[in-house]
Amino acid sequence: MSSDLSFACTCGTITGTLLNVGPDQGDHVICHCTDCQDLTHYLGHAARVLDAHGGTPLYQSRCARMKIRSGRDQLACVHLTDKPTLRWYAACCRTPLFNSYRNGRIPYITTQLAACDPAARDRLTGAPRGHLFTADAIGDTSALPKMSMGTLMRRFFPRMVRDMLSGDRRRCELFDPDTLEPIAAPHRLTAEERQGLRRD
Ligand SMILES: [Zn+2]
Ligand SMILES: [Zn+2]
Protein backbone atom coordinates (compact mmCIF):
# COMPACT_ATOMS: atom_id res chain seq x y z
CA MET A 1 0.00 0.00 0.00
CA SER A 2 1.28 3.47 -0.86
CA SER A 3 2.68 5.56 1.95
CA ASP A 4 2.15 8.80 0.04
CA LEU A 5 -0.34 11.30 1.45
CA SER A 6 -2.04 13.83 -0.80
CA PHE A 7 -2.92 17.34 0.32
CA ALA A 8 -4.89 20.21 -1.19
CA CYS A 9 -6.12 23.66 -0.30
CA THR A 10 -9.89 23.88 0.16
CA CYS A 11 -10.50 25.35 -3.32
CA GLY A 12 -8.30 22.71 -4.96
CA THR A 13 -5.83 25.05 -6.67
CA ILE A 14 -2.80 23.88 -4.70
CA THR A 15 -2.36 20.13 -4.68
CA GLY A 16 0.55 17.90 -3.85
CA THR A 17 1.86 14.86 -2.04
CA LEU A 18 3.86 14.00 1.04
CA LEU A 19 6.12 11.10 0.21
CA ASN A 20 7.04 8.20 2.49
CA VAL A 21 4.71 9.08 5.33
CA GLY A 22 4.83 6.92 8.42
CA PRO A 23 4.92 7.07 12.22
CA ASP A 24 8.69 6.52 12.13
CA GLN A 25 9.31 8.88 9.20
CA GLY A 26 7.99 11.97 10.92
CA ASP A 27 6.05 13.14 13.94
CA HIS A 28 2.30 13.49 14.19
CA VAL A 29 1.63 15.98 16.98
CA ILE A 30 -1.20 18.24 18.11
CA CYS A 31 -0.02 21.78 18.82
CA HIS A 32 -2.03 24.04 21.11
CA CYS A 33 0.31 27.05 21.06
CA THR A 34 -1.27 30.46 20.66
CA ASP A 35 0.56 31.06 17.38
CA CYS A 36 -0.92 27.97 15.75
CA GLN A 37 -4.36 28.98 17.04
CA ASP A 38 -3.89 32.59 15.91
CA LEU A 39 -2.86 31.43 12.45
CA THR A 40 -6.16 29.67 11.84
CA HIS A 41 -8.07 32.76 12.98
CA TYR A 42 -5.95 35.04 10.82
CA LEU A 43 -6.61 32.85 7.79
CA GLY A 44 -10.29 32.28 8.63
CA HIS A 45 -10.05 28.51 9.02
CA ALA A 46 -10.22 28.11 12.81
CA ALA A 47 -13.57 26.34 12.90
CA ARG A 48 -12.42 23.76 10.36
CA VAL A 49 -8.86 23.17 11.61
CA LEU A 50 -8.85 23.45 15.41
CA ASP A 51 -10.07 20.68 17.67
CA ALA A 52 -12.19 21.27 20.79
CA HIS A 53 -9.06 22.17 22.77
CA GLY A 54 -7.72 24.61 20.17
CA GLY A 55 -5.29 21.99 18.89
CA THR A 56 -3.84 21.92 15.37
CA PRO A 57 -2.93 18.48 13.99
CA LEU A 58 0.53 18.62 12.41
CA TYR A 59 3.02 16.23 10.84
CA GLN A 60 6.67 17.22 10.88
CA SER A 61 8.94 15.47 8.43
CA ARG A 62 11.93 15.79 6.14
CA CYS A 63 12.07 18.88 3.99
CA ALA A 64 12.29 17.29 0.55
CA ARG A 65 9.41 14.84 0.97
CA MET A 66 6.76 17.38 0.05
CA LYS A 67 6.02 17.73 -3.65
CA ILE A 68 3.71 20.36 -5.12
CA ARG A 69 1.67 19.11 -8.08
CA SER A 70 -0.30 22.26 -8.93
CA GLY A 71 -0.80 25.85 -7.83
CA ARG A 72 2.77 26.55 -6.75
CA ASP A 73 2.38 30.24 -7.65
CA GLN A 74 -0.43 30.51 -5.07
CA LEU A 75 1.85 29.68 -2.12
CA ALA A 76 2.11 32.60 0.31
CA CYS A 77 3.78 32.91 3.70
CA VAL A 78 3.51 34.98 6.83
CA HIS A 79 5.40 35.58 10.07
CA LEU A 80 2.82 35.98 12.83
CA THR A 81 5.39 37.19 15.36
CA ASP A 82 9.09 38.03 15.54
CA LYS A 83 9.85 34.31 15.87
CA PRO A 84 11.51 32.54 12.94
CA THR A 85 8.60 30.22 12.14
CA LEU A 86 7.23 30.82 8.67
CA ARG A 87 3.59 29.91 8.08
CA TRP A 88 2.71 28.88 4.53
CA TYR A 89 -0.82 29.05 3.17
CA ALA A 90 -2.76 29.10 -0.08
CA ALA A 91 -3.35 32.66 -1.27
CA CYS A 92 -6.40 31.49 -3.27
CA CYS A 93 -8.51 30.34 -0.31
CA ARG A 94 -6.26 31.01 2.70
CA THR A 95 -5.93 27.34 3.64
CA PRO A 96 -3.03 26.86 6.10
CA LEU A 97 -0.64 24.32 4.58
CA PHE A 98 2.85 24.18 6.13
CA ASN A 99 5.18 25.57 8.78
CA SER A 100 8.91 25.92 8.22
CA TYR A 101 11.93 27.79 9.46
CA ARG A 102 12.29 31.30 8.07
CA ASN A 103 14.75 30.04 5.46
CA GLY A 104 15.93 26.68 4.23
CA ARG A 105 19.02 26.56 6.43
CA ILE A 106 17.28 24.64 9.20
CA PRO A 107 15.45 22.04 7.15
CA TYR A 108 12.07 20.69 8.16
CA ILE A 109 8.54 20.85 6.92
CA THR A 110 5.50 20.66 9.14
CA THR A 111 2.29 19.92 7.28
CA GLN A 112 -1.21 20.88 8.40
CA LEU A 113 -3.00 17.55 8.53
CA ALA A 114 -6.38 19.27 8.07
CA ALA A 115 -5.25 19.87 4.47
CA CYS A 116 -4.42 16.19 3.91
CA ASP A 117 -6.57 13.36 2.60
CA PRO A 118 -8.91 12.57 5.53
CA ALA A 119 -9.30 8.96 4.40
CA ALA A 120 -5.56 8.28 4.72
CA ARG A 121 -3.91 10.75 7.07
CA ASP A 122 -4.47 8.99 10.41
CA ARG A 123 -3.59 5.59 9.02
CA LEU A 124 -0.36 6.89 7.49
CA THR A 125 0.87 9.22 10.23
CA GLY A 126 -0.17 6.99 13.13
CA ALA A 127 -1.68 8.19 16.38
CA PRO A 128 -0.47 11.58 17.63
CA ARG A 129 2.75 11.27 19.64
CA GLY A 130 1.51 13.90 22.00
CA HIS A 131 0.13 17.36 22.57
CA LEU A 132 2.41 20.40 22.57
CA PHE A 133 1.87 23.58 24.60
CA THR A 134 -1.20 22.32 26.44
CA ALA A 135 -0.86 25.30 28.83
CA ASP A 136 -2.25 27.37 25.93
CA ALA A 137 -5.04 24.92 25.19
CA ILE A 138 -8.76 25.55 25.61
CA GLY A 139 -10.62 23.71 28.36
CA ASP A 140 -9.51 20.79 30.52
CA THR A 141 -6.54 19.05 28.93
CA SER A 142 -5.55 16.90 31.91
CA ALA A 143 -6.40 13.72 30.00
CA LEU A 144 -4.32 14.60 26.91
CA PRO A 145 -0.92 12.90 26.51
CA LYS A 146 1.59 15.74 26.65
CA MET A 147 4.78 16.17 24.70
CA SER A 148 7.54 18.69 25.30
CA MET A 149 9.28 20.71 22.61
CA GLY A 150 12.50 19.10 23.84
CA THR A 151 11.19 15.66 22.95
CA LEU A 152 10.12 16.86 19.52
CA MET A 153 13.50 18.53 18.98
CA ARG A 154 15.32 15.30 19.83
CA ARG A 155 13.21 13.46 17.27
CA PHE A 156 13.66 16.24 14.69
CA PHE A 157 17.45 16.45 15.05
CA PRO A 158 18.42 13.24 13.17
CA ARG A 159 16.08 14.18 10.31
CA MET A 160 17.71 17.60 10.12
CA VAL A 161 21.18 16.04 9.95
CA ARG A 162 20.05 13.70 7.16
CA ASP A 163 18.55 16.59 5.23
CA MET A 164 21.83 18.46 5.51
CA LEU A 165 24.15 15.56 4.67
CA SER A 166 22.05 14.21 1.79
CA GLY A 167 21.65 17.58 0.09
CA ASP A 168 17.88 17.42 0.56
CA ARG A 169 18.08 20.84 2.19
CA ARG A 170 18.34 22.25 -1.32
CA ARG A 171 15.41 20.16 -2.56
CA CYS A 172 12.65 21.70 -0.47
CA GLU A 173 9.82 23.10 -2.59
CA LEU A 174 9.46 26.14 -0.32
CA PHE A 175 12.97 27.52 -0.72
CA ASP A 176 15.22 28.58 -3.52
CA PRO A 177 17.82 25.83 -4.01
CA ASP A 178 20.68 28.30 -4.30
CA THR A 179 19.88 31.00 -1.76
CA LEU A 180 17.65 28.90 0.57
CA GLU A 181 15.36 31.94 0.79
CA PRO A 182 11.56 31.42 0.66
CA ILE A 183 10.06 31.23 -2.86
CA ALA A 184 7.38 33.77 -1.82
CA ALA A 185 8.06 37.04 -0.02
CA PRO A 186 6.99 36.64 3.63
CA HIS A 187 4.54 39.11 5.11
CA ARG A 188 5.13 40.05 8.75
CA LEU A 189 1.98 40.91 10.67
CA THR A 190 1.65 44.52 11.73
CA ALA A 191 0.70 45.45 15.30
CA GLU A 192 -2.84 46.20 14.12
CA GLU A 193 -3.12 42.85 12.40
CA ARG A 194 -1.90 41.10 15.53
CA GLN A 195 -4.54 42.86 17.59
CA GLY A 196 -7.21 41.74 15.14
CA LEU A 197 -6.33 38.06 15.62
CA ARG A 198 -8.79 35.72 17.31
CA ARG A 199 -11.70 37.55 15.74
CA ASP A 200 -12.53 34.98 13.14
ZN1 LIG B 1 2.04 25.65 17.51
ZN1 LIG C 1 -7.04 27.39 -2.64
pLDDT for residue 3? 96
Q: Which residues surround ligand 1, an ion (CB under 5 A)?
A: 31, 33, 36
Return the DSSP state at 171. G
pLDDT tens for the chain, 200 residues: list them. 689 999 999 999 999 999 999 999 999 999 999 999 999 999 999 999 999 999 999 999 999 999 999 999 999 999 999 999 999 999 999 999 999 999 999 999 999 999 999 999 999 999 999 999 999 999 999 999 999 999 999 999 999 999 999 999 999 999 999 999 999 999 999 888 888 776 54
**Predicted TM-score (pTM) of this structure:** 0.96
Separation of 142 CA from ligand 2 center, angstroms? 36
Q: Which of 64, 30, 43 is nearest to 137 (CA)?
A: 30
Tell me, in angstroms, the distance from the centre of ligand 2 to residue 8's CA: 8
Q: What is the CATH number of domain 5-192?
A: 2.170.150.70
The predicted structure's pLDDT at residue 199: 52
Contact (CB, 8 A) for 96 and 115:
yes
Q: Give the pLDDT confidence score for residue 1 in this predicted structure.
A: 67
CA–centroid distance, 150 to ligand 1, in Å, is 14
Cα 82 to Cα 93: distance, rounded to the nearest angstrom: 25
**Backbone CA torsion sign across 90, 113, 159, 157:** positive
Residue 96: left (phi > 0), alpha (psi -120 to 50), or beta?
A: beta
List, as ranges, residues with CB under 5 A of the ion ligand 2: 9, 11, 13, 90, 92-93
The CA 52 to ligand 2 mean position distance, Å, reads 25
